[in-house]
Amino acid sequence: MRGAPLKAAVVGHPIGHSQSPTIHGHWLETTGIAGTYEAMDLHPDSFEADIRKLVDQGFQGVNATVPHKEVALAIADEVDDTARRIGASNTLVFRDGRIHAQNTDAFGFWQNLVPQLHGQVPQRAVVLGAGGAARAVLVALQDAGVGHVILANRTHGRATALAEELADTATIETLTWDDAEALLDQEAVDLIVNTSSRGMKGEHPITCALAAQTPETVVNDIVYSPLQTALLETAAARGCQTVDGLGMLLHQARPAFQAFFGARVSVDAGLRHKVETRMGLR
């Protein structure tokens, strides 16, 4: 139907915590595009059938969040290269009855970081955590040409398994968590990224002193609740450049909005303020 509002949604289980309706709602408002973006709780048992119904109902696509990101990849008719390498999809785009799986988390991570890099690609990076978020971060670092990546995780075997899985396209060195903390006290690196849930509200903070880090070191915590984690506070006290995690959440939504509603959008202070307020971060 020509002129009917374009429809998209975020699907998860549960879904109440999702900020995606606020983010896409902001852009629908600022662009004036006639569209809707809603939150839907889809049960894992009927995920594929429910998604096919949305295709039939003329939706442009959906964002997938926990626990659907891996199965979203599995049910897609086509999978883009980034989503395949990450092993998960956060964006399903529907075209001509077919489901295309994308992953915009690597894009979001890198776009959030770029303004702090002043045109320099980090040569030596330490990534903490080896879960789903780490996969997107590692793929982004690989695509950006970061030469030397060191991966550390509480469960060391998970870090080595992930490094092996990505070994075709990237060389990733692994360390135990304690050895990574010791390294950060002894040698300066260009970039430190925490992708683990350590430091999140209710979890233990990261207490590493970062003793060897310098004002050239960029420290990014992808945890955004709280916005200022202990890791970022330590980094700031050392004079390092710090990047909080909320920007990744905002930037990852940009390619999805463009795919669903056809307009390029940017992350501005108004959007950030709206999301911070809704999340009680300010």
Tell me which residues are annotated as active site: 69
**Nearest to ligand ATR of 119, 202 (CB atom):** 202
Distance CA 44, CA 223 (A): 26
**Nearest to ligand ATR of 130, 240 (CB atom):** 130
**Nearest to ligand ATR of 157, 239 (CB atom):** 157
**In the block, residue with structure tokens 């202990």:** 230
Distance CA 281, CA 227 (A): 7
The 183-222 site mask, x for binding ligand ATR (CB under 6 A), equals ------------xxxx----xx------------------
CA distances to 40, 66, 127, 192 from 123, rounded to whole Å, are 41, 32, 13, 11
**Nearest to ligand ATR of 52, 154 (CB atom):** 154
Binding piece for ligand ATR, criterion CB under 6 A, among 7-15, 138-146, 153-161, 267-275: 153-161
What sign for the dihedral angle of Cα 271, 273, 277, 280?
Answer: positive
Q: What tokens were used for 78?
A: 């086509």
The 118-147 site mask, x for binding ligand ATR (CB under 6 A), equals -----------xxxxxx-------------
Residue in the shown chain whose Cβ atom is closest to ligand ATR: 131
CA dihedral of 19, 83, 222, 190, whole degrees rounded to 10? -150
- Smallest gap from Cβ 40 to ligand ATR, in A, equals 20
Which of positions 73-112 make contact with ligand ATR (CB under 6 A)?
none
| Side chain identity, residue 233 | E
The continuous run of DSSP H or E covering 230 comes out as helix 230-237
Q: Which residues bind ligand ATR (CB under 6 A)?
A: 129-134, 153-155, 158, 195-198, 203-204
